[in-house]
Structure 1
Amino acid sequence: MSAAGPLTAHRPERVAVVIPAKNEAERIEATIASARGIPGVDLVAVVDDGSSDATSAVAMGAGALVVRHKTNRGKAAAMATGAQMVAIQEGAERADGGEGFSEELHAEPRSPGHTGPLPVIDDRDAVPRALLFLDADMGESAAAAQPLVEAVLGEGVDMAIALLPPQSGAGGMGVVVRTARRGILRATGWEATQPLSGTRCITRETWDACQPLAPGWGVETSLTIDALTAGFWVKEIPADLHHRATGNDLRGRLHRAAQLRDVLRALARTRHLSPEIEGADEEQGAGEKKPAGLPAAALEREEPVASAPAETPEREAAEETASTEPEPGSAAPSAGTPTPLPTGRPDHDEAKVWAGLAEPDEPDAELAEQRRLTLADLPVDGEFSDDETRALGDVDPAELDALLRALKVEGDFAPDDIVYLAGTDLEQLAERLDAAPVEGRFEPAHAVIIASHLQVGKPELPAPLTAPLTPEEYTSLVVHAAVDAENS
């Protein structure tokens, strides 16, 4: 468990279960019934994340509070919707006065013009429910999450994470788990046993401090890092929970590929928490091509950083994976802007402005807006945040645009995907995609996954498969090759 103690002023006394679900009509009823039996649970909310079956209807029939996303929006979005549902329900309960409300005891004096007393709701002592997130396919085993609830309600833990026993049929998760574990260790100094465990009981104060969530399957990694760095008490607790495991077939490998992509994106969001790597510049050969988007000069830091864990071969491998991620706050304006920073170490005060550590003057604010408009010309689906704009501060937009559009990809990238790709060797990625025995063009998500495995080498085609492959099949082979390389 983490060394930090609980920060909450008031401990919750009740728990709301939040169950993100997609196409779980067969299991959701048993999961809801089992969750209701956990002491302290008095509300179950189900978020149907774009199901094509009767998940919503079955959940409502089981007595759960249900909301449905029209399209699949991912696990993080479903969790956020569930927490919002609970908050709305609690607001309605407070407005109603609760079970102990009496109009005679809780009323203002009669006022001229009013026909009756005005109820007064005093909820100053109300403590929001803790949130228990469960997988929809846990069935009758959901009741085994009780130790997590006890830890939060009775022990003072702020985020209790379930340690699950070995799951029947699981396979191939090692590379994703190790990536998340090393990233959390690097950012916080705390080593998680099961960093991807989604069964968690969280106080509302901790949940609010961890917003916004990382997208998709990176949500668990970001929750752990954000809670620890905010000083909350995080503890892993054994729980005899069981759910349908992801197998090692094509569908399972694609699922793990998506997980790895989202975990890497979540770690990129917290890159600024990692200690600087001494000698990183010396390790890069003079004749080696520098990946597009890496900062030309590292900025001096004034904020404290955690001490780095001891060097190990595993840590070095993790650093190799993360070393190409651009660091938010370490970027300077590109050569295409009106007043570029020098290519050497920038002036300290001016550098802090671009790193977001100081307030800019008016010309710099205008320059930042121009920068944002220039980046909008990239093949991006959405707008760059302030942090993402700063992370791309040392990138030549025209060069990055040309490299991205040269990829064998159909469609636009998410803003955080572009930030990640800017720190990789896009020319090598283009060669890998062009040489792939694939019919048609890749999706942006496929390109990001393959970019995260460029160091693995080209995958070999198994005997049953013959070219041409679909982009999904080739991407799954890349992830499978990474898993084999890691295990060997």
Structure 2
Amino acid sequence: MNPYISIIIPAYNEEDKIKDTLENIKDVSEINEILVIDDGSSDKTTEIARSVESEKIKVFTLDKNRGKGYALNYGLKIAMENATIIGFLDGDLGSTSSEVKKLITPILNNEADVIIAKFPPATKKGGLGFVKRLAKESVLEMTGKELDATLSGQRIFKREVLEKFKEMPYGYGVEVGMTIDILKYGYTIKEVLVNMTHSETGRNLKGFIHRGKQFYHIKKVLREKKKEWR
């Protein structure tokens, strides 16, 4: 039986990037459906996503902003109806979304249970590395596995992996929480270098606030995981 690949794209106020993101994955032959979950955007994300012509694309709009974890859970309930392989992609990848093919190939070749995109170095100075270091060291501490892309939201999963989760962790800690659980369950993860780019936060107030929220959410998820897996 041929695999059925569903890609879930949670999007919040991505009117500038969502069109390019969709245009550059809609013709990837291996992908069967693309689920855009507009997480209560206040801009034209839904309208622009629906303007992209493809029978694969299905757009769902949440009544208000509920966070990435909620949007992923919403999309998963739909994807699980048919999919044997499920991918998560961010809405701001733009034309680089076509790099998803580099993630799909190894999952089809059964090289691992989960494939995570490893991005090239950021083009501009971001934070001081606290969040990335926290994520990497925490995953290593709890699982014994050293991964570089623990924060990456670009992931492809075998269906059986996601069936182990009643729901995705919420908040900015979703990727770290999932990574720990996946490894603890005994599944394998492979990181693949891609030439993807997305919106970067700089060393300004907005950037530091974002990273502060990330740090807080990751710490919260880590406390929960230590209780669950002790």
Is TM > 0.5 for Structure 1 vs Structure 2? yes
Q: Given that residues 12 and 41 in structure 2 are in contact (C-alpha distance below 8 angstroms), is that contact kept between their aligned partners in structure 1?
A: yes
Q: C-alpha deviations, 1:405-454, integer Å up to 9, x for none?
A: xxxxxxxxxxxxxxxxxxxxxxxxxxxxxxxxxxxxxxxxxxxxxxxxxx
Cα 1:22–1:265 shift into 2, 3 Å: same
**Partner of 2:47 in structure 1?**
57
Q: C-alpha deviations, 1:95-120, integer Å up to 9, x for none?
A: xxxxxxxxxxxxxxxxxxxxxxxxxx
Find 1:224's aligned residue among 179, 187, 209.
179
Say which SS state the counterpart of residue 38 (structure 1) adopts.
Answer: coil
Find 2:13's aligned residue among 18, 23, 36.
23
Give the deviation of 1:260 after TM superposition. 0.7
Q: TM-score, normalised by structure 2?
A: 0.93
Say which SS state the counterpart of residue 36 (structure 1) adopts.
Answer: coil
**Partner of 1:468 in structure 2?**
none
Structure 1 segment 323-342 matched on structure 2, within 5 A? none
Say which SS state the counterpart of residue 131 (structure 1) adopts.
Answer: strand
**Partner of 1:385 in structure 2?**
none
- Say if 2:116 is the partner of 1:161: yes
Alignment-mate amino acid for residue 230 of structure 1 = Y
Find 2:64's aligned residue among 63, 66, 71.
71
Q: Given that residues 170 and 245 in structure 1 are in contact (C-alpha distance below 8 angstroms), is that contact kept between their aligned partners in structure 2?
A: no
Say which SS state the counterpart of residue 198 (structure 1) adopts.
Answer: coil
- Say if 2:216 is the partner of 1:252: no
**Partner of 1:194 in structure 2?**
149
Give the deviation of 1:237 after TM superposition. 0.9
* Identity level (%): 31
Give the deviation of 1:38 after TM superposition. 2.7
Q: Given that residues 21 and 47 in structure 1 are in contact (C-alpha distance below 8 angstroms), is that contact kept between their aligned partners in structure 2?
A: yes
Cα 1:228–1:137 shift into 2, 3 Å: same
- Distance of 1:58 and 1:85 partners within structure 2: 21
Which structure carries more relative contact order (alpha carbon 8 Å, separation 6+)? 2
- Distance of 1:66 and 1:169 partners within structure 2: 32
Q: C-alpha deviations, 1:190-249, integer Å up to 9, x for none?
A: 011121011000111101213332211101001111111111111111111111111111
- Distance of 1:211 and 1:173 partners within structure 2: 34
- Distance of 1:12 and 1:219 partners within structure 2: 30
- Say if 2:31 is the partner of 1:41: yes
Point out where structure 2 has 5 or more consecutive residues left out of the alignment: none
Point out where structure 1 has 5 or more consecutive residues left out of the alignment: 1-10, 91-127, 275-304, 306-488
Q: Given that residues 159 and 235 in structure 1 are in contact (C-alpha distance below 8 angstroms), is that contact kept between their aligned partners in structure 2?
A: yes
Q: Given that residues 131 and 203 in structure 1 are in contact (C-alpha distance below 8 angstroms), is that contact kept between their aligned partners in structure 2?
A: yes
Alpha-carbon RMSD: 1.7
Say which SS state the counterpart of residue 127 (structure 2) adopts.
Answer: coil
- Distance of 1:264 and 1:238 partners within structure 2: 27
Q: TM-score, normalised by structure 1?
A: 0.45
Q: C-alpha deviations, 1:126-149, integer Å up to 9, x for none?
A: xx3311111111111001121111
Give the deviation of 1:60 after TM superposition. 1.4
**Partner of 1:264 in structure 2?**
219
Cα 1:12–1:169 shift into 2, 3 Å: farther
**Partner of 1:346 in structure 2?**
none
Q: C-alpha deviations, 1:348-385, integer Å up to 9, x for none?
A: xxxxxxxxxxxxxxxxxxxxxxxxxxxxxxxxxxxxxx
Q: C-alpha deviations, 1:234-292, integer Å up to 9, x for none?
A: 11111111111111111111110111111111111111467xxxxxxxxxxxxxxxxxx
Q: Given that residues 22 and 55 in structure 1 are in contact (C-alpha distance below 8 angstroms), is that contact kept between their aligned partners in structure 2?
A: yes
Would you identify which runs of 4 or more consecutive aligned residues in structure 1 move more than 3 Å? Answer: none
Find 1:146's aligned residue among 76, 93, 101.
101
Q: Given that residues 73 and 167 in structure 2 are in contact (C-alpha distance below 8 angstroms), is that contact kept between their aligned partners in structure 1?
A: no
Structure 1 segment 431-470 matched on structure 2, within 5 A? none
Q: Given that residues 37 and 143 in structure 1 are in contact (C-alpha distance below 8 angstroms), is that contact kept between their aligned partners in structure 2?
A: no
- Distance of 1:12 and 1:261 partners within structure 2: 42
Alignment-mate amino acid for residue 176 of structure 1 = V
Find 2:78's aligned residue among 63, 77, 85.
85
